[in-house]
């Protein structure tokens, strides 16, 4: 799936294939459960390649799907299940508010760590009696969007300022030649300035996102 690492924009393989005239890759699978399973597998494969230890927890109904640990550090990272336009029943059955987990951690003596420059969306906690750390990505938590520093590039070349926005902006004209690099950077910078202050998940509005697989997992 497309990700932003630091200041680097990672373009998905499907887009690169399309740019070189190779077979198009479907971006809206008919079987979203199978697609979600493939997405989890890809996420875990990438995690392993980066040195993490991911575990698929989808069937345990814990409120999150993939648990990822950093070997030798005891670091765990959890992502709150998010509602999309096709998973209302799944969301209602599986959702556990990330804020609830955070409150339980704090009640158990875990303390929030200072946020460092360039950090991702996770809120990280540590405990004096533990060598490990726990990170929670809780998109339903208060003020989550205020610290968002991530964008999403889908395989069709569209940039999504928010996973739950009203659609993507086509950047393919800027992805044809290396000479367009600076123009691409300026375009992304200008678009980022138009990013909405917050998503509308609290109003049960997932924007134009039918499911996360449609924009890269």
- Whole-number Å distance between alpha carbons of 68 and 58: 13
pLDDT at 180: 92
| Whether the Cβ atoms of residue 169 and residue 156 lie closer than 8 Å to each other | no
Q: How many CB atoms sit inside 10 A of residue 49's CB? A: 8
pLDDT at 6: 45
- Whole-number Å distance between alpha carbons of 73 and 137: 19
pLDDT tens digit at each of 217 positions of the chain? 444 444 445 555 666 666 666 655 554 545 566 767 777 787 778 777 777 777 776 665 555 566 666 565 667 888 888 898 888 888 888 888 888 889 999 999 999 999 888 788 889 999 988 878 889 989 998 888 988 888 998 888 999 999 899 889 999 999 988 899 999 999 999 999 999 999 999 898 999 888 887 887 5
Indicate the domain borders of the chain: 1-30+151-212, 56-146
- Can you read off the two tokens belonging to residue 19? 């740019």
- Whole-number Å distance between alpha carbons of 73 and 108: 20
pLDDT at 110: 93
Least Cα distance to 78 among 117, 121, 118 occurs for 121
């Amino acid at each position: 799936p497309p990700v932003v690492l630091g200041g680097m924009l990672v373009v998905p393989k499907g887009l690169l294939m399309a740019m070189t005239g190779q077979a198009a890759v479907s971006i809206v699978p008919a079987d979203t459960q199978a697609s979600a399973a493939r997405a989890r597998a890809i996420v875990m494969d990438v995690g392993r390649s980066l040195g993490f230890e991911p575990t698929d927890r989808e069937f345990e109904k814990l409120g999150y799907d993939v648990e990822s640990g950093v070997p030798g550090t005891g670091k765990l990272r959890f992502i709150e299940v998010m509602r999309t336009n096709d998973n209302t029943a799944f969301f209602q059955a599986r959702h556990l508010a990330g804020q609830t987990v955070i409150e339980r951690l704090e009640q158990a003596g875990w303390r929030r760590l200072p946020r460092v420059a360039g950090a991702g969306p996770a809120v990280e906690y540590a405990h004096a009696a533990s060598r490990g750390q726990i990170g929670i990505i809780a998109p339903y938590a208060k003020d989550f969007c205020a610290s968002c520093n991530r964008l999403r590039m889908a395989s069709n070349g569209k940039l999504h300022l928010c996973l739950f926005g009203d659609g993507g902006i086509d950047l393919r004209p800027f992805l044809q030649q290396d000479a367009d690099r600076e123009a691409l950077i300026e375009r992304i910078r200008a678009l980022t300035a138009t990013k909405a202050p917050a998503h509308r998940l609290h109003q049960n509005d997932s924007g134009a996102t039918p499911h996360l697989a449609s924009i890269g997992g």
